[in-house]
Amino acid sequence: MKGSIIVNTDWEQGVINKNIYGQFAEHLGRCIYEGLWVGQESPIPNTDGIRNDVVEALKRLNIPVLRWPGGCFADEYHWKDGVGPKENRKRMVNTHWGGVVENNHFGTHEFFQLCELLNAEPYICGNVGSGTVQEMSEWVEYMTFDGESPMAAWRQENGREKPWKLKYFGVGNENWGCGGNMRPEYYADLYRRYQTYVRNYGDNRIYRIAGGANVDDYRWTEVLMREAGYLMDGLSLHNYTVPGTWEAKRQALGFDEAEWFETMKKSLHMDELITRHSAIMDKYDPDKRVGLIVDEWGTWFLTEPGTNPGFLYQQNTMRDALVAGLHLHIFHNHHDRVQMTNIAQMVNVLQAMVLTEGPAMLLTPTYHVFEMFKVHQDAQALATHTKLGNYEYDGDSIPQVSVSASKAQDGYIHISLCNVHPGESANLNLELRGLEEVKEISGVVLVSDEMQAHNTFDQPERVKKAAFTSFQQQGQRLDIVLPPMSVVMLAIAP
Ligand code: AHR
């Protein structure tokens, strides 16, 4: 395929909120336990129980915000079980995820410590489905109140003198499903009630996020915006990329080109979802005060054979890398409405950044995309114009190349490119319009010659970044050869 791209380097469109690069960690499978938390007694090197190797790797992603404790777990979680001396913490059953014992050793204090280690903003999801207003309100008091009160005193007794800063708070999760099977009218009323008691103590200001729609449930968004839009700062949206169907999911490995194509096409569906949900939000909130918070997205395949089906552990291939790149580009394009997203999930669950096995850890292809793309965080989106061909498969077609450009605060211009075709390069002519002088250009690529390429504990570096040099510069023009199934990041020095 031959194509052309114009990047208008002097035409800024607005900020790509860094929170688009947010993550999600749930008490699900081996995400929290084993993946992030090993306990102080573990031979795996840790800081107060939090594993050092995983934290070190994740720090390199500049994770802006971390959502916790769920997911479906959030609407079954009673935070009081997870504070105080560990030996007294309640052992309970994680009914939603595998029916395993949850010993509550990772709770509020441990979560804030993890966020501090990662330098990420905490985003806590409260329990509407099975929790009370009082429980939610006391949690906020426990975390953020700096005065004399029963919850502040309890926090101090538990070793934390000063309150934490908490910005993001979700009022329930998937309340149309695992969070209570509610109708939007009913949830909208509950949202209004619960959020009233999510107080701003002192100078702590909470950004309240209402539980939003599942995929294309536009009526949910309509009702929520109509009935409660004025009381929320954000409204969530969940959509997973599921080749096959929910009932008959496909494998993370062992797929063919038909499934590759289907996965890419389903990833691009995110654009339509955001456009249509945003249009409804625009009706009630034309100034775009309320952010669309895509706080769960990513691939969802059959669980890895031989693992607990309730643990949602799956491998991660070049296909996942392209899915990540396409989604991030779509989120950039909707930077006026999309203020945060949280890929599911950070470690060992679904489209993870990191996989662990005992003391071993590996970085997935998705990790590398997040690492390469972090330069877009809080940068100014630049207008691009493209003339590009399609990837055709079995009578169907999708755009072959996706591109996004931004200008960072230090003046660097970054251009990310995804070629979703598994067998064809893309020959691109890229014009850096508006740039008087093009100085140094460097590139990084994530590529493989196999769709299924992935990292294993035996071969942890099979898929990794490399320098990208397949371009030639003539003044403001670049001739680029984008290899099949590749993700590229170009950096143009100011
Ligand atoms: O991320 C896994 C699960 O997917 C979450 O717990 C839930 O919110 C969603 O259905």
Residue 215's closest CA among 194, 193, 236? 236
Taking the C-alpha atoms of residue 439 and residue 432, their distance in angstroms, rounded to an integer, is 12
Cα dihedral 450, 455, 460, 464, rounded to 10, equals 60
Give the C-alpha separation, 385 to 378, whole Å. Answer: 21
Q: How far is the CA of 28 from the centre of ligand 1 (A)?
A: 9
| Nearest CA residue ID for atom 3, ligand 1 | 71
Structure tokens at 22: 């947010």
Pairing of strands 360-363, 46-47: unpaired
Number of Cβ within a 10 Å radius of residue 118:
23
Quick one: which atom of ligand 1 is closest to the CA of 70?
6
363 DSSP β-pair partners: 354
For residue 249, the CA-to-ligand 1 centroid distance in Å is 15
Segments in 94-217 forming alpha helices (H): 108-118, 133-144, 150-157, 184-196
What's the CA gap between 303 and 349, in Å, rounded?
9
| Ligand 1 pocket residues where CB is under 6 Å | 26, 70-72, 173-174, 296, 344-345, 350
Ligand 1 centroid–CA 120 distance in Å is 21
**Which secondary structure element, helix H or strand E, spans residue 380, and what is its range?**
strand 380-387
The C-alpha atoms of residue 341 and residue 67 are separated, in whole angstroms, by: 10
pLDDT on residue 274: 98
Nearest CA to ligand 1 atom 7: 71
CA 71 to ligand 1 centroid distance, Å:
5
Q: Whose CA is nearest to atom 2 of ligand 1?
A: 71
Query: Residue 242 has which token pair?
Result: 């599921």
Which pLDDT does position 155 carry in this prediction?
Answer: 98
- Chain centroid to CA 206: 20
- The residue whose CA is least distant from atom 4 of ligand 1 is 71
What would the two tokens of residue 136 be?
A: 């939610």
Q: Ligand 1, from 77, 296, 349: best to mutate by most atoms within 8 Å of Cβ? A: 296
Per the CB < 8 A criterion, the answer to whether 409 and 279 are in contact is: no
Nearest ligand 1 atom, CA 344: 1
Q: What does the pLDDT read at residue 16?
A: 98
Atom index in ligand 1 nearest the CA of residue 73 equals: 6
Q: Rounded to an integer, what is the distance from CA 245 to the centroid of its chain?
A: 22
Give the residues across from 384 on adjacent strands.
Answer: 7
Burial of 395 by CB count in 10 Å (0-12 exposed, 13-18 middle, 19+ buried)?
exposed
187 Cα: distance to centroid of ligand 1 (angstroms): 18
Q: Give the chain's end-to-end CA distance (angstroms, integer).
A: 30
* CB burial string 327-364: b at 16+ within 10 A, e below: bbbbbbbbbbbbbbbbbbbbbbbbbbbbbbeeeebbbb
- The HSE-up count of residue 140 (CA atoms within 13 Å, CB side) is 28
Tokens found for residue 453: 């390429």
Tell me which amino acid residue 492 is. I
Torsion sign across C-alpha atoms 60, 61, 66, 69: negative
Rounded to whole angstroms, the Cα distance separating 484 from 417 reads 12
Amino acid (1-letter code) at residue 412:
Y
C-alpha distances out from residue 268 to 28, 131, 330, Å: 27, 36, 8
Pinpoint the alpha helices (H) of 11-124. Answer: 52-59, 108-118
Helix, strand, coil content of the chain in percent (nearest 5): 30, 30, 40
Q: Tell which one of 26, 31, 73 to mutate to probe ligand 1, the residue whose CB is within 8 A of the most ligand atoms.
A: 26
Atom of ligand 1 nearest to the CA of 345: 1
Longest CA–CA span in the chain (Å) reads 68
Nearest CA to ligand 1 atom 8: 71
Both tokens of residue 304?
Answer: 């890895």
- What DSSP element (H or E) covers 273? helix 257-284
- Ligand 1 centroid, distance to 324 Cα (angstroms): 18
Give the DSSP H/E element, type plus range, for residue 392.
Answer: strand 390-393
- Taking CA atoms only, the protein residue closest to ligand 1 atom 5 is 71
Say which residues have a Cβ less than 8 Å from residue 380's Cβ, sequence separation at least 6. Answer: 12, 13, 14, 15, 16, 406, 407
Q: Which atom of ligand 1 is nearest to the CA of 24?
A: 1
Distance CA 141, CA 169 (A): 13
Question: Residue 368 in contact with residue 376, Cβ under 8 Å?
Answer: no
Instruction: Write out the H or E segment, with its range, that includes residue 281.
Output: helix 257-284
Of 23, 24, 68, 72, the residue with max ligand 1 atoms within 8 A of its CB, to mutate for a pocket test, comes to 72
The residues annotated as belonging to the active site are 174, 296
Beta pairing, strands 100-102 & 121-126: unpaired
Domains defined for the chain, CATH in brackets: 3-9+382-493 (2.60.40.1180), 18-377 (3.20.20.80)
Q: Number of C-alpha atoms within 13 angstroms, CB side, residue 391?
A: 24
Q: Taking the model in full, what pTM does it have?
A: 0.98
How far does the centroid of ligand 1 lie from the alpha carbon of residue 381, in Å? 30
CB atoms closer than 10 angstroms to residue 415: 25
- Tokens in use for 12? 């800024």
For a substitution probing ligand 1, which of 123, 176, 238 has the most ligand atoms within 8 Å of its CB? Answer: 238
Q: Which atom of ligand 1 is nearest to the CA of 74?
A: 6
Residue nearest to ligand 1 atom 9, measured at CA: 71
- How many whole angstroms separate alpha carbon 283 and alpha carbon 453? 44
pLDDT in tens, the chain (494 residues): 999 999 999 999 999 999 999 999 999 999 999 999 999 999 999 999 999 999 999 999 999 999 999 999 999 999 999 999 999 999 999 999 999 999 999 999 999 999 999 999 999 999 999 999 999 999 999 999 999 999 999 999 999 999 999 999 999 999 999 999 999 999 999 999 999 999 999 999 999 999 999 999 999 999 999 999 999 999 999 999 999 999 999 999 999 999 999 999 999 999 999 999 999 999 999 999 999 999 999 999 999 999 999 999 999 999 999 999 999 999 999 999 999 999 999 999 999 999 999 999 999 999 999 999 999 999 999 999 999 999 999 999 999 999 999 999 999 999 999 999 999 999 999 999 999 999 899 999 999 999 999 999 999 999 999 999 999 999 999 999 999 999 999 999 99
Of the candidates 105, 191, 466, the one whose C-alpha atom is nearest the C-alpha of residue 113 is 105
What separation in Å is there between the alpha carbon of 72 and the centre of ligand 1? 6
C-alpha to C-alpha distance for 160 and 83, rounded to whole angstroms: 11
The closest-lying atom of ligand 1 relative to the alpha carbon of residue 173 is: 8
